[in-house]
Amino acid sequence: MEEIPESHPRYESLLTRHRIEDGVERGITSTQGLIAQGRGEAFDYLLGEETIPSADEAARAAAAQLLLADHPVVSVNGNVAALVPGEVVDLAEATGADIEVNLFNRTAERMTAIADHLREHGAEEVKGLTADARIPGLDHERAKVDADGIGDADVVVVPLEDGDRAEALAATGKTEVVVDLNPLSRSAQAAAVPVVDNIIRAVPNVTGHARELAGATQEELEAIVGEFDADAARTAAERAVREGELVS
């Protein structure tokens, strides 16, 4: 793979593309993941490729929500595994969350390749391969979860999720933290905490907030969650996208 100089004005964006390409070559990311990445990039471009203040507030609320949870789970698909494998392991460690592979285009080969990739990045346990529970209201393959993972979770982080599944998961009463660059996607709309930011920035940011909040009391964490306004965060992100400049 060609080396990208850090001085390149689009360094982050090019690095992200290379990671996704590499994910496809390793059998981790689906070819549809390339399209999803392109869709996300367009929104990121309009956001100025930075974490806007409302996304930072959402990341803090997400961290508080995860620290308050009885059983938090971070769901990982092919794009997430390619882009932020080590960062997901850090997030799980900082919040006591389980990691579960959950795919839109599920195959046994991709499930194993992603679980191995996460283990290579430090994950001790990766759930998702047992698939002994189902999310109600979805067709067979997309509904598969582990009974002692997402099936039992009270708070689930679902980055870059398909809208149907995000809605079905929210309908089970679980609290959803969604990371999605499109504030109007059905996933972002279904979320209790929508983090409208690139996963590359969002996951380390939630981890940073979780580490900062590690000593906070339950009341303090509940106050952060209670003060967070998901509709206001989506509206602020939509405004930022609509007012975004088309310059690189």
Binding segment (CB under 6 A) for ligand PTJ, from list 50-58, 168-176, 178-186, 218-226? 178-186
Site string for ligand PTJ, 8-37 (x = CB under 6 A): ----------------------x-xx--xx
Of 44, 100, 49, 108, nearest to 77 by C-alpha is 100
Positive/negative CA dihedral, 157, 23, 104, 118: negative
Q: Does 73 engage in binding with ligand PTJ (CB under 6 A)?
A: no
Spatial distance between the Cα atoms of 80 and 219, rounded to a whole number of angstroms: 32
Q: Does 206 engage in binding with ligand PTJ (CB under 6 A)?
A: no
Spatial distance between the Cα atoms of 163 and 94, rounded to a whole number of angstroms: 27
- By CB under 6 A, the count of residues binding ligand PTJ is 24
Residues 6+ apart with CB under 8 A from 167: 186, 187, 190
| CB distance 162 to 147 below 8 Å | no
Q: State the angle between helix axes of 85-95 and 108-120 in degrees (0 to 180), rounded to the nearest 10.
A: 70
Q: Does 51 engage in binding with ligand PTJ (CB under 6 A)?
A: no
Binding segment (CB under 6 A) for ligand PTJ, from list 62-70, 87-95, 145-153, 160-168? 160-168
Q: Does 77 engage in binding with ligand PTJ (CB under 6 A)?
A: yes
Of 52, 61, 41, nearest to 177 by C-alpha is 61
Spatial distance between the Cα atoms of 223 and 244, rounded to a whole number of angstroms: 32
- Kindly give the residue spans of alpha helices, DSSP state H, lying in 47-159: 53-68, 78-83, 85-95, 108-120, 140-143
Binding segment (CB under 6 A) for ligand PTJ, from list 7-15, 57-65, 156-164, 168-176? 156-164
Residue of the chain from 175, 198, 205, 207 that contacts ligand PTJ (CB under 6 A): 198
Q: Which amino acid is at 218?
A: Q
Binding segment (CB under 6 A) for ligand PTJ, from list 125-133, 150-158, 174-182, 229-237? 174-182
Q: Which is nearer to ligand PTJ, 74 or 103 (CB)?
A: 103
**Contact positions with ligand PTJ (CB under 6 A) in 101-130:** 103-105
- 138: tokens are 């979805």
Q: Which is nearer to ligand PTJ, 33 or 151 (CB)?
A: 33
User: In DSSP terms, which residues pair with 155 in a beta bridge?
Assistant: 72, 175
Q: Does 189 engage in binding with ligand PTJ (CB under 6 A)?
A: no
CB of 33 to ligand PTJ, least distance (A): 4
**Interface with ligand PTJ (CB under 6 A):** 30, 32-33, 36-37, 39-40, 43, 77-79, 103-105, 160-162, 179-182, 185, 198-199
